[in-house]
Chains A and B, each alone.
Chain A
């Protein structure tokens, strides 16, 4: 579904990604873990071209992503950000319908119907007409997930979706993500939640200094790591 070939990214003279090759299969949940500055968020942002790769190609459904088909390709990918990035001047409902109506040309009625179904799925039906500022962080992130789903994407990208949340709100967001994984959604998740990666991930990759150091099943990478860098990182996060 997603093929990443020889992905390189530099910011000035700083090489952030050094030759990443990855395939994500349909229905797979790929979790990317690693220390800060390892390039895991940059890799995710290269997939939907919020960062322009310095070198390398990314294919989705066999189609090469270029500047020309970018807007179309992005409608196949839902993105959830660390800082939610809900549109503050719109109600929750309008946040969910602005994409489908304007980008996909779906009628307002249909878009609102879908939006209400999605809000029900993330447990926020009663917040439809609230503005984002009146929601807790966890609620905002659940709305952000629903907003991405409203475009009916084939794959969902999560960039540290729980890192900006108060600890007591992490669970509600992870529950929505688990539910989504169980429904068969293809997901790429950059996360610090090792528990989530173990429970929900089909595959885990550990990145450090712009390369994939180790990859495998969650059990292989997180419980029985082979590489010293992975062991070192895990010993620090799994206290």
Chain B
């Protein structure tokens, strides 16, 4: 039993890194995702195409490949201009790649949220003399956020699990902690069960919270 507790505690040492990377990445993902979603909504064909290509490329490639490109590929490219370039800390490309990856998925979530807001809301806002941008900011996006909050939470859960690939690019997060311990202690079962448990104490409460929020919103809807 003791060996399992040890495995779990070792995996838990990776929780702060996993949480920080996920948190910063989801913020980048939400901001960039909103931008991409707005690009898709504009009448500007070039912006539309840029957003579409971005989403297709990111969703069509594994995050591990993206992480390797960001962590090792990009420095090689940048060294052409500046031979001394290297990432000061491998957590930086890790956060970036998770954020950029998440943005593609978030943009789809945000886009569907914006589309789910009743068309009459934009008409009412424009009829008051609001510009399209002002109507989006004051009327449409605040309502879209409420609609997408559960999907946003689910995306966060997915992202937390996805960060497990970051061990391959030099970030010592939950999974990597378990791997490193196993490499010296040869305890694969306790090590990886510990890793799984460490993820679960992050993801399961979060999922429960999202479900609770969804139920609350459904009740509110039913009462209206």
Contact = CB atoms under 8 A, between A and B. Distances in A.
Do the two chains belong together in a single complex? yes
B123 to A, nearest CB: 5
A89 B143 contact: yes
Interface stretch (A29-37, A69-77, A201-209, A224-232): A69-77
B142 interface: yes
Interface residues of A, number: 26
Interface string B101-129: 00000000000000000101101111111
A87 interface: yes
Interface residues of B, number: 21
Contacts, number: 62
Contact of B123 (A81, A102, A104): A81
Contacts of A99: 128-130
A62 interface: no
Interface string A21-54: 0000000000000000000000000001010000
B224 A81 contact: no
A88 B120 CA distance: 12
A71 B120 contact: no
B139 interface: yes
A133 B129 contact: no
Nearest to A82: B120
B158 interface: no
B120 A75 contact: no
Interface string A195-224: 000000000000000000000000000000
Contacts of A103: 128-130, 134
Contact of B124 (A71, A85, A89): A85
A98 B128 contact: yes
B120 A81 contact: yes
A88 B143 contact: yes
Contacts of B126: 50, 71, 74
A85 B120 contact: yes
A10 interface: no
B183 interface: no
B146 interface: yes
A151 B139 CA distance: 17
A125 interface: no
Contacts of B121: 85, 87
A85 B130 CA distance: 15
Contacts of B224: 133
B79 interface: no
A122 to B, nearest CB: 17
B127 A79 contact: yes
A74 B127 contact: yes
Residue picked from B127, B138, B223, most chain A C-beta under 10 Å: B127
